[in-house]
Amino acid sequence: MKFNLPNALALLLFVLGGCATNSSSTVYEQLGGASKVSEIVDNFVWEIEYDEQILPYFEGANIDRFKQKLSEQICVVTNGPCEYTGDTMQQVHTGMNITEHHFNRTVDLLINAMNKANVPHPLQNKVLKGLAPTRKDMLYL
């Protein structure tokens, strides 16, 4: 068999094109929609449950409501077909006195949750970028 550069190049472009994400799809769609968001949130709750530093912040929390509202929030910031119906981040976090350390630790737990859900790192970065503006409404309130 003789090597044919134009055919080899065409094959390579075809294969690589199949690996590329559709730039017109939303981050929500790239993640895999509601089922993947739910998996991330479930993993995140599991991470929190076993973290001695962060678990105290959730004492007395309604975990089912937390999961529902976090799912909505992730859906919204990834341009999914959702509406966030919960309280503002400032309302939820006032009086919790969350430190920079604990905020960063919680972000680490969310990253762990996304890793366990096999979310590729570029998509993780997009999710975190969408959530980042809420940081100012959580610290030291």
C-alpha 69/C-alpha 27 separation (Å) is 18
Tokens of 19: 């690996």
Residues 6+ apart with CB under 8 A from 36: 117, 119
C-alpha 31/C-alpha 18 separation (Å) is 16
Name the β-bridge partners of 121: none
**Residues of each annotated binding site:** 93
**Residues of each annotated binding site for heme:** 93
